[in-house]
Structure 1
């Protein structure tokens, strides 16, 4: 009798391990909280929620902010640039522990799903639309057409996709929205002779590099600079240079890996899953027998592609979020269903089947959120931040900024939301730059680089949901990404040291 081969656990198991670890931390780490400041526009006042839960109302003036040590202009609150509650420096207090036990662990994934239902519905609707397109042979015809157009120049797929997604990340924080692209682009990359990891890397790392070296993103650069009391243009040049260098390093790394596996497919990190992934994404694709790329199929694919253009416009200029994005793709799905001519019953069946394919991904998104909920309920997020701020006090400026990078890497693991980390940590960390003689924009850069770097691998972020889209296990992603993470980490340190000189 042969022994059963050991395999790496699924994304669900990895997340539950991290969830249990987070719950254990609530027994070990002291509970504590900062006072939180929030602007009440209707009352033109500030409400301050103290660690004991009491609320104090203060005048909505610059004098109030100055008295509290929050060095941010009042106009940032009035215009809505800072809409979330901001941590007040020097107000941390220990509070009674609220450890998260067995029942809390069981309920956390359920609450996480409730908390991310907008993203989950978006994923399911996307799955439905893709299910309809797949059933009509539209993707197969489009893949064959694209393969012919890029024959001999397949590396351009990597370059174009990575650059475009990186631009989206650096300008308007393109991240969760890329989930819609994996079922579309994975078969394109595979038909070009690459494995699924190349597509994941081009999309996920394009987004991660863009958000890590964000230039004008309102969800990181702008909100963090506002919270630090500076303009987002301070430090912008250095982040733009880092963006260009980081994107080039990433593209070269992916192209080199892609070239290696095109030459010898057995070098692929997921070669043992080749049949399984091919069955999932190219089941009906036969390069020698593809459906004709008819006008109807071209029209459906064009409408689907146009939806992404509209999505970018809506998110970047119309303040769209998942409600609007989901409605957009629902409309697109209905239009495609009508054009396809497959009939109402067939349309519904294929739409539901497509949505069902992404149920696992949707659940992973909810469970990842559960980890943050456990930490928030256990009152340890602020304690970790307070301990981190004490760690760097009084250091040599050069050592200080490098340590700050690693502090934000740790904080980014526990708080994967860029805007959430900005309003919680920057008001506490930015004044520390003053004490060592560094400009505050260096702190903003350290925050972006640290959180961006850990996003390459953190289970609390998007990576496990991304890998689940393609059935790639976490260990294989780590094996692929760790060298690149090292290169980008060195780049981040160098850029911070150079920025700290000016």
Structure 2
């Protein structure tokens, strides 16, 4: 007798497997793509000199004068270096040279995740502390009580929450690059969205796309558009009005797209892309939530929520004005955790164990951040990033203005996959790309816009960015996110290229 074998259903690989596949592909590229480097120039503020490192690694010193910049064909004002606007080394135009190949074999590939974890330990500690706080707040019943109170207030107007969250985060993205910090919002907002009848995709879209649209259509973000403008030798005010208009239109397009999906899910939960996973997701985020049996939202729980939520404006101030980064943000949230321990009424042992258990829940998210960094390490050590920049800049020479702008955005999307750091890509590419605009009669602010929109557009899906850590946090696989986001990505892509063409005509 033949046994009826049930066909095994294909399961999309986990975020870790996706990253390791890309890591291996990146290592293969280091064998195929010629290694090469541009000479790099950096300002030494202590000695008031420029140091130049050529592709062979030889270091020379030059006087920090405008004449030096002009002689190197760097079309930037000296003040951009002396006032600290440009802090990172910049690529010197027309200095690209191929160098000895540096292929990344088995040992570098194995070691790269370890190096990536060491390189991102500050972000990982922040994530683990955040997990500990979420565990504490959940233990006190504060989230459940808050969700019940909010659900009563927003009944019948649930999509206003989506609009508010998306617009507010987009504002943070466009002004100071709010991105990694949004990881803290998922454990807070996910239960609220689910309790309102939406699925996990709607919550991710509101938070992640709010950040992505804001960062993509940056107006005054110092980590992208300001650095890029400085490196292009122009003021960030050039093209600002146009970028504001594009930001508003792109945010409206995104909200309309989310609205139609969210309405469909509320009418028929089975139409959700993550319908088969929602039981597991609800178990995670609404484990003890019963709308008919919720602890009272009393003064103690309100105080805990105020302390927790009060950390966010402090964090935003610290990042945007106080020079903070993840160590300072980690210190802030650790202080909040200690305060909540005292307010919780839990015993010392129970409070500590709850914090540790909460941190343990986010270990996977923290590790993904480190493994994603490994991909960049392999490509940097293989010395192929400058080669990719050299080839892409060669493609757009002597193009028609409108085509030049659109193709530049696509090329910056490609470069953004390999160089996910917005400031790193700006300082590396702008001295090379911006002068090309002069040769085709296009204003340099168009190049800055193309850079910003291109890299931001790729961030919707790039595994080397933040998306896999986000999906791991909410138990959604990468293929399901792609199914949701690719149509919107296409719409935003066409919109952006059309707007770039219009900008070249202004």
When normalised by structure 1's length, the TM-score is: 0.99
- The aligned counterpart of 2:388 is 384
Q: Tell me if 1:176 matches 2:180.
A: yes
**Offset, 1:118:** 0.8
- Aligned residue runs from structure 1 range 63-462, under 5 A: 63-462=67-466
Q: Residues 116 and 366 of structure 1 are in contact (CA less than 8 Å); yes or no, is this contact kept in structure 2?
A: yes
Distance (whole Å) between structure 2 residues aligned to residue 343 and residue 395 of structure 1: 69
Distance (whole Å) between structure 2 residues aligned to residue 391 and residue 99 of structure 1: 25
Distance (whole Å) between structure 1 residues aligned to residue 281 and residue 381 of structure 2: 39
Q: Residues 242 and 491 of structure 1 are in contact (CA less than 8 Å); yes or no, is this contact kept in structure 2?
A: no
Distance (whole Å) between structure 1 residues aligned to residue 14 and residue 76 of structure 2: 44
Q: Residues 81 and 226 of structure 1 are in contact (CA less than 8 Å); yes or no, is this contact kept in structure 2?
A: yes
Distance (whole Å) between structure 2 residues aligned to residue 289 and residue 388 of structure 1: 60
Distance (whole Å) between structure 2 residues aligned to residue 500 and residue 134 of structure 1: 52
Distance (whole Å) between structure 1 residues aligned to residue 371 and residue 163 of structure 2: 33
Q: SS at 1:214's partner residue?
A: coil
**Offset, 1:2:** 2.0
Q: SS at 1:500's partner residue?
A: helix
Deviations 1:346-384 (A, max 9, x none): 111010000000000000001111101100000000000
Distance (whole Å) between structure 2 residues aligned to residue 189 and residue 255 of structure 1: 13
**Offset, 1:492:** 0.5
**Offset, 1:413:** 0.7
Deviations 1:144-172 (A, max 9, x none): 11111100000011000000000000000
Q: Tell me if 1:476 matches 2:500.
A: no
Distance (whole Å) between structure 2 residues aligned to residue 120 and residue 80 of structure 1: 29
Distance (whole Å) between structure 1 residues aligned to residue 472 and residue 281 of structure 2: 12
* Residue from 4, 11, 28 that aligns with 2:32: 28
- The aligned counterpart of 2:491 is 487
Distance (whole Å) between structure 1 residues aligned to residue 309 and residue 253 of structure 2: 28
Q: SS at 1:84's partner residue?
A: coil
Q: SS at 2:505's partner residue?
A: coil
Q: Residues 403 and 501 of structure 2 are in contact (CA less than 8 Å); yes or no, is this contact kept in structure 1?
A: no
**Offset, 1:426:** 0.8
Deviations 1:176-205 (A, max 9, x none): 000111111111100110001101000000
**Offset, 1:60:** 1.2
Q: SS at 2:46's partner residue?
A: coil
When normalised by structure 2's length, the TM-score is: 0.99
Unaligned runs of 5+ in 2: none
* Residue from 59, 64, 67 that aligns with 2:63: 59
Q: SS at 1:48's partner residue?
A: strand
How many residues get paired? 502
Distance (whole Å) between structure 1 residues aligned to residue 403 and residue 157 of structure 2: 45
* Residue from 466, 491, 501 that aligns with 1:497: 501
- Aligned residue runs from structure 1 range 13-24, under 5 A: 13-24=17-28
Q: Residues 372 and 415 of structure 1 are in contact (CA less than 8 Å); yes or no, is this contact kept in structure 2?
A: yes
Distance (whole Å) between structure 1 residues aligned to residue 342 and residue 443 of structure 2: 58
